[in-house]
């Protein structure tokens, strides 16, 4: 009914992902034009950081949503949600 | 003259970047259709790993090229190239 | 009064940190005995992963505690706690 | 015969590892005295960064050593060394 945690940030997230898509195309163009490896690597590090920024924003929204929803839920549901959030954080930290 | 270290891998790198571009568009579509945060985060972790894969391939090519070139270069040039490669590796490790 | 989120896991966390301390001493011994760089690096990667494991456990405990505490707190307090948790997650993801 | 790549940096590396060992003990003490999760996490991020710093220094020394050694080695030996260095970099980037 009330959408995912990021529902109020969709436009901003969408704009950030469009920019990231453009950055990935930029990396492809650098390679097509034989740009120096080290410069291509610097650009890839920038894209990675931009993606992490989107992930961290989604996670913030999700945690705020979880906590706000905690009042009305059973402890089993809450535990399952926390386990899920933990697994997502672990994937981010290790990727 | 003889191009960057990745010159023989350009087609494969290009194909990988096209796939990553498609993955970023996929993340944008997930957000448009209100997909669950945790699923979007899992997809972003996959894109991040794919980008790191491209970076590691570029770096391999670059190091092989550097070492191959070491025979004909002054030690000052070599030191500068190694410092540059180290900085690129540090950026990758920390991003 | 009721201690930090990890209060029930203190013994286990303590044991993990002792093991990590031993691993760091092991790295120092490898260097003293001129062990091969690549083997030392593999061991450092293992220590880093072990430290991340401790961080992820602390974070799980903290989030569970936050959510459990959400019932009795003002929304201002909750927002501040979430912002704090987000900043900690961002530091982990980026380190 | 001539030791690993880091042979001239052993004292400094040793001092850095002693400091890291002290930082890990500090984290254990924070947990014993029930310090706030977020503060413990900040300290763990600092230890992780310090460990990465040691790893990056070892890697620099190793690459410099590899390149310097490239003159006298067969291409098969060189390829094997580069593959090994790449695998070590990949482990660092992904840990």
The ipTM assigned to this model is 0.90
Domain CATH number, residue C50: 1.20.58.1000
Contacts of D35 (CB under 8 A, 6+ apart): C4
Mean pLDDT of D1-21: 90
Calculate what percentage of chain D has a pLDDT beyond 90. 67
Q: Buried (b) or exposed (e) across C9-18, using 16+ Cβ within 10 A?
A: beeebeebbe
Judge whether A68 lies within some domain.
Answer: yes
Shortest CA gap D74–chain C (Å): 20
Q: Does residue D1 register a pLDDT over 60? A: no
The pLDDT, as a whole number, for residue B91 is 92
User: Is there a contact between B58 and A47 if contact means CB atoms under 8 Å apart?
Assistant: no
The label of the residue with tokens 């989030």 reads: C63
Residue D1 lies in a domain: no
Return all residues near C16 (Cβ < 8 A) that are at least 6 apart.
Answer: C50, C53, C54, C57
Q: Is residue C1 part of a domain?
A: no
Q: Which residue of A has its CA nearest to C64?
A: A82
Distance from CA of D31 to the nearest CA of C (A): 7
pLDDT at B4 over 70: yes
Is residue A83 a part of any domain in this protein?
A: yes
How many beta-carbon pairs under 8 angstroms link B with D? 56
Provide the residue range defining the domain that includes D67: 7-94
In a domain, B1, yes or no: no
- Chains touching chain D, criterion 3+ CB pairs below 8 Å: A, B, C
Nearest to C62 among D37, D61, D65 (CB): D37
Domain-located, residue D2: no
Residue corresponding to tokens 């390679």 = A31
CB contact under 8 A, A89 and C85: no
Does the pLDDT at position C1 exceed 60?
A: no
Chain B, window 75-94: residues with a beta carbon less than 8 angstroms from a chain C beta carbon:
94
What does chain C come to in residues? 95
Position A66 pLDDT exceeds 90: no
- Looking at the domain assignment, is residue D81 inside a domain? yes
Domain count of the fold of chain D: 1
Distance from CA of C33 to the nearest CA of A (A): 31
């Amino acid at each position: 009914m009330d959408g995912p945690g990021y529902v109020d940030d969709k436009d901003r997230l969408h704009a950030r992902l469009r920019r990231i898509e453009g950055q990935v195309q930029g990396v492809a163009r650098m390679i097509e034009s034989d740009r120096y490896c080290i410069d291509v690597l610097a650009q890839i590090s920038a894209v990675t950081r931009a993606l992490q920024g989107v992930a961290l924003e989604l996670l913030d929204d999700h945690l705020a949503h979880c906590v706000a929803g905690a009042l009305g839920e059973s402890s089993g549901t809450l535990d399952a949600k926390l386990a899920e959030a933990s697994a997502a954080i672990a994937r981010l930290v290790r990727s």
